[in-house]
Amino acid sequence: MLSLTLTGLKLKNPLMLAAGIMGTTGGSLKRVAESGAGAVVTKSVGAAPKPGHPNPTMVEVDCGYLNAMGLPNPSYKDFQEEIDIAKEAGTPVIASIFGGEPDEFVEVACGLCPDAFELNVSCPHAHGYGTEVGTDPVLVEEITKAVKSAVEVPVWVKLTPNVTDITGIGLAAQQGGADAVVAINTVRGMAIDVESGYPILGNKFGGLSGCAIKPVAIKCVYDLFKTLDIPVIGVGGISDFRDVIEFVMAGAKAVEIGSAVGNNINIFNEISSCMEAFLEEKEWTLNDIYGMAHEV
């Protein structure tokens, strides 16, 4: 009832693991896949090993988490082993990759064999990467085009909400040949310890995830659905089945779940069951509610 085809990939449900959560090892990705996810996205990997920002890199705040991990990763070079382990679950594995310019993205992409790529042009706090390239529509189009012509699997582009109008960047990704866009990465934010006056994160500022950003993500998905011809994948603040229904009504073909997985790895099975019961009671299919909010 919840199965779908997304950019040519067969998914048993539209609920995917978002990049950055339990995505560093093949073992943890496989565990999430075996816990009911329709697909899993790896932690972002780049061309060279990166230690990330100094601690603290994550703090819980009202309605979510602030993180400034700084794209820590071992590089793509030994990462295919992790992807192969994750693939043992029989669920599509999406590699999240980052770079500072088209050739760097292509180098990373050509060193991996996932079921699809997600291009991270949206991390809000990594110097030379993420939003520093992903807020420039010309660069987003060039990067997308370069990766698209170098690989044979679908290419998704993960967008930042830290722009005035996300649709301009979405259009650039589409123009570059993206098969889908993913909206949204975290919203830039900061927290200060009032006892000392120090910014809490080692990097001083970071990206906000969790319930607080859901309305921001819904608006971005709504606008992208209206503007683009390619599928939009929604992410940001999903913690129960009603959140997923809301994203699909806004125009998300599928969704990714991040912060909420940290508290409950069974969230994929729980949301699937609740969604099926809800749709059955309403006598709707997933397709019936896809973009429903645009019909009014």
**Minimum Å distance from CB 122 to ligand SIN?**
6
Let me know if 110 is a catalytic residue. Answer: no
Left (φ > 0), alpha (ψ -120 to 50) or beta: where does 236 sit? left
Phi, psi of 176 (to 5 degrees): -80, -5
By CB under 6 A, residue 185 contacts ligand SIN? yes
Catalytic residue among 113, 123, 220, 274: 123
Q: Which stretch binds ligand SIN (CB under 6 A): 106-114, 117-125, 232-240, 242-250?
A: 117-125
Q: Which of 91, 174, 186, 239 binds ligand SIN (CB under 6 A)?
A: 186
Using a 10 angstrom Cβ sphere, with 0-12 exposed, 13-18 middle and 19 or more buried, the burial of residue 59 is middle
Contact indicator for 218, 246 with CB cutoff of 8 Å: yes
**Minimum Å distance from CB 280 to ligand SIN?**
36
Contact code string over 74-113 relative to ligand SIN, x by CB under 6 A: ----------------------------------------
Going by C-beta distance under 8 Å and a sequence separation of 6 or more, which residues neighbour residue 96? Answer: 19, 20, 23, 41, 42, 43, 44, 45, 117, 118, 119, 120, 158
Q: Which of 42, 44, 91, 174 binds ligand SIN (CB under 6 A)?
A: 44
Q: Which of residues 7-26 bind ligand SIN (CB under 6 A)?
A: 20
- In a 3-state reduction of DSSP, which class is residue 157? strand
Contact indicator for 244, 214 with CB cutoff of 8 Å: no
By CB under 6 A, residue 207 contacts ligand SIN? yes
By CB under 6 A, residue 170 contacts ligand SIN? no
- Residue 58 CA to residue 18 CA, distance in Å, equals 17
The catalytic residues are 123
Q: Which residues bind ligand SIN (CB under 6 A)?
A: 20, 44, 67, 69-71, 120, 122-123, 126, 130, 185-186, 207
